[in-house]
Structure 1
């Protein structure tokens, strides 16, 4: 994708130009903010210490570095996730309106999509992310991964088919997503189980991730038990925070309207919903405090940018 030759001018500027892109690739590869940031930092160390004499394409060189490091990291974290307490979900991130306004971009960063990407092999995930999300050519990907273009095409077809088979696409537009999320939240906070049931699809699924560090079911919930669980947690203290001391807001999380619950200076949980036909079909609830640090810090992912707000 790029060859290392000699000009050291603009070392920092060149890296900073692509930092947001590098984080975006690494985050979609790993579903972890902390791991993605570690990999971007590692890329900086390699970039600053490499023989860059005349690197013709810094973007290609840096994406190659990040992608291959992410593949190696995926192979090591998967064994760790096998011993995870309860369902494992990716780390949620706050996203800016420019992400939500682009349907394909928003879908690529959704928690539901990241969950599906977890079922791919590291190689399949890399090819899918680079090809389908960032539009790299098969030839560029082949160069990045040191594989033949023909083999990359085969992997791309296999990965795309796998994702298509497992990724349910919900068609609600942003206005509908916001309306249903507000209705869902109002019913939950009001303790109105009948109203809540009316906004939840009969086969609704809630996937909770407390990681054994905060109270959360250790299996997915379905149907009416989702409503009972949500009403219950809204009426009693959670992690030492009384309901009256909680603040609840609807904000963009992973490319769609989501719900963030705060208690004092911390974030208690973040939740996203998949919506169709005026109802919630899937909920992803992340309460593991280790996965909420970027939201605590008000860091936002946008086109090519990743930083704290304001």
Structure 2
């Protein structure tokens, strides 16, 4: 059994589950999962893991995500994207200055209500199932962060966008909200995920049958568990600590033993610490733990036994 992280370029028209199902067949492995769902009409980077590497998907999902998107101003739809029915049409499209002012209001930390046609669960049921019955349960709002939101060249009423957002952000809802701020309505025409933290779609392989990619191709390009957590703070254990950890005994670590997260990615709203990667002297990933270092370094104990989240024996 292989424990690897795979970078896939999801084709248009496939659900994220379609990609997982195909990779299970190609790899001959039932234990396959993904981080960060993409809608069927969207394309781009979908991160999958097989074997015990599926335990790392939670760490990967914390990373900010970059998209290239195109919105259509002047038409709002019930799904907030091009797959839905128009519910509002306007020919009064604001100019670039008004658009820039509206985009500024969408940047930073804000609250977002997931769309009705989404896989979010309310009282145990997917929202889209209730929406298809004509019901409108309230999913509540979630805190998101829009790190970057820039306009690309294009001709109105279509608007190209390059944006980087936190986990759980619905880009089609951003397009819808932009239309509401402008007073003309809007929906999302296209969406392509370019990157998730350090992982880029340029390094991804296609799962489509016409690509000819097989298990050897995917595993030959896959990332090891240690590479999959390159964005996390880390502690390299001694040989003795590594041997004890393999038997479930947590090491005692102080701030002087912990290397900060090397890539500097921000945590999504609601999270205060990255998990800590525990490495063998040779660099192999042995486990994940709660970091003993609080947000305020001066409050860190000189040494403390870490709380293990996962051990990879």
**Structures share a fold, TM > 0.5?**
no
Query: What TM-score do the two structures reach when normalised by structure 1?
Result: 0.24
Structure whose CA Rg is larger: 2
